[in-house]
């Protein structure tokens, strides 16, 4: 496509949308930086004007479009090579845009972590995207770039130094600091509500291969941390990682899209490292209990109403600018090859994981789709993952422009 704008940010007035607009302003609107011709879109002209005022970009073009207005979405896609969407929960507001992008051949990325919605979009629009040439890339934020690109990096380095890929990788969140946003909470509550209305969805959500292409033939049982568990490999207690339910699914889809490069018996799991000894076990127990109480509360209508109205942050709320800058994460990977060779690596990111860092990652995925035309020249339309579509080039971008670091560790 050769449209008027390289990129349009749809949902520019949302919490993460505003952070993203500031990031693009700082990184693509300066003479010494890459050049990106971009615009912002949303349903309120007044709010879009306020975003322009905050970032001091009075000439930034605005496009009015509501998530449910297919005609307006069509008009917006007609002006853009790439749409970056921050409009969630995507299960409630995201389908029309994915449909139109798939129809019109417009490239698209978002930061969804809603695996049940991704499954629905694949079933409805993947064939259409392959026909039109649209490259659709979900999960382009904290879920699931550190996991997906971290596994990709680990496997790349394993092949180089060990001569073979790993058929078993474990990811552990060693450290992280960041706040929760109302948008993320709204997505979690919506998934819980969907499960309560449709119990059959529960079976889909526990399927590790839910979003793998048909005919993947993966049958190996995957490990899922659900209770306090001592991990001998990392010498510490672990607790469930709330994003594992989406991250692991994306990693398995990447393996399938890459032709089962890591084997049909490839195993991958995620958890949080919480410490050693009795203190570590106590912390893990507390996390498990807290998560259990939250999901029980979210499943019951009266307590969900109380949580939504009096306890949890609302959509549009999230970490302060200071918290966004001061946040960080340190994620470790341990891989083992079929012959027993081992490799360890890490992905370290600066910025609040879900917002400060996510906006940078999402911005770089959008820039990669818009600017790295030689990389994408032989990539056909369809639903991709970041590692299978963007690979080494995205690692370069993330290290140079998004404060991420990928390293092999001893």
Domain boundaries, the chain: 5-142+355-398, 145-353
**pLDDT given for residue 1 in this prediction:** 60
Residues 6+ apart with CB under 8 A from 88: 11, 14, 94, 110, 111, 112, 114, 183, 186, 187
Does residue 266 sit in helix, strand or coil? coil
Q: What is the pTM of this model?
A: 0.94
**pLDDT given for residue 315 in this prediction:** 66
**pLDDT given for residue 195 in this prediction:** 80
**pLDDT given for residue 196 in this prediction:** 81
Q: Which of 383, 391, 390, 354 is nearest to 118 (CA)?
A: 383
**pLDDT given for residue 302 in this prediction:** 81
**pLDDT given for residue 410 in this prediction:** 82
**pLDDT given for residue 253 in this prediction:** 98
Question: Tokens 């969140």 belong to which residue?
Answer: 173
What would be the CATH architecture of the domain defined by 5-142+355-398? 3-Layer(aba) Sandwich (3.40)
CA 367 to chain centre: 16
Is the alpha carbon torsion for 148, 149, 154, 159 positive or negative?
positive
Q: Which of 395, 396, 332, 340 is nearest to 145 (CA)?
A: 395
Order of strands across the sheet that contains 229-231: 229-231, 236-239, 267-275, 168-177, 328-336, 342-350, 404-409
**pLDDT given for residue 181 in this prediction:** 60
Residues 6+ apart with CB under 8 A from 76: 8, 10, 41, 63, 65, 83
Positions in the chain short of pLDDT 50? none
Token reading at 120: 């629905």
**pLDDT given for residue 318 in this prediction:** 75
Helices (H), strands (E): how many in the chain? 16, 14
**pLDDT given for residue 338 in this prediction:** 97
């Amino acid at each position: 496509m050769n449209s008027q704008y390289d990129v349009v940010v749809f949902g520019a007035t949302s919490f993460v949308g505003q952070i993203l607009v500031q990031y693009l302003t700082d990184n693509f609107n300066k003479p010494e930086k890459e050049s990106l011709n971009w615009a912002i879109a949303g349903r309120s002209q007044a709010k879009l004007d306020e975003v322009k005022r905050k970032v001091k970009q009075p000439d930034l073009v605005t496009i009015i479009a509501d998530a449910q207005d297919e005609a307006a979405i069509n008009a917006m896609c007609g002006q853009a090579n790439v749409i970056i969407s921050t409009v969630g929960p995507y299960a409630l507001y995201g389908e029309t845009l994915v449909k139109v992008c798939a129809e019109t051949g417009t490239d698209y990325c978002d930061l969804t972590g809603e695996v049940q919605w991704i499954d629905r979009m694949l079933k409805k629009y993947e064939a259409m995207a392959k026909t039109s040439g649209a490259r659709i890339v979900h999960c382009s934020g904290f879920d699931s770039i550190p996991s997906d690109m971290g596994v990709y990096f680990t496997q790349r380095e394993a092949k180089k130094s060990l001569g073979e890929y790993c058929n078993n990788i474990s990811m552990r969140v060693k450290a992280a600091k960041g706040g929760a946003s109302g948008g993320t909470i709204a997505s979690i509550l919506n998934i819980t509500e969907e499960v309560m209305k449709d119990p059959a969805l529960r079976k889909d959500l526990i399927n590790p291969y839910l979003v793998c292409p048909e005919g993947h033939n993966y049958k190996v049982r995957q490990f899922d941390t659900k209770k306090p568990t001592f991990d001998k490999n990392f010498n510490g207690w672990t607790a469930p990682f709330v994003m594992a339910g989406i991250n692991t699914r994306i990693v398995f889809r990447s393996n399938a899209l890459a032709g089962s490069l890591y084997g049909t018996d490839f195993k991958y799991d995620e958890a949080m490292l919480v410490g050693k000894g009795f203190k570590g076990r106590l912390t893990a127990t507390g996390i498990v209990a807290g998560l259990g109480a939250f999901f029980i509360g979210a499943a019951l209508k009266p307590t969900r109403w109380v949580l939504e109205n009096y306890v949890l942050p609302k959509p549009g709320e999230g970490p302060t600018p200071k918290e966004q800058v001061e946040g960080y994460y340190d994620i470790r990977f341990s891989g083992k090859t079929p012959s027993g060779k081992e490799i360890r690596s890490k992905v370290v990111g600066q910025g609040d994981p879900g917002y400060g860092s996510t906006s940078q990652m999402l911005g770089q995925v959008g820039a990669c789709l818009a600017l790295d035309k030689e990389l994408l020249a032989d990539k056909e339309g369809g639903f991709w993952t970041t590692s299978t579509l963007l690979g080494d080039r995205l690692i370069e971008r993330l290290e140079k422009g998004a404060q991420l670091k990928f390293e092999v560790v001893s």
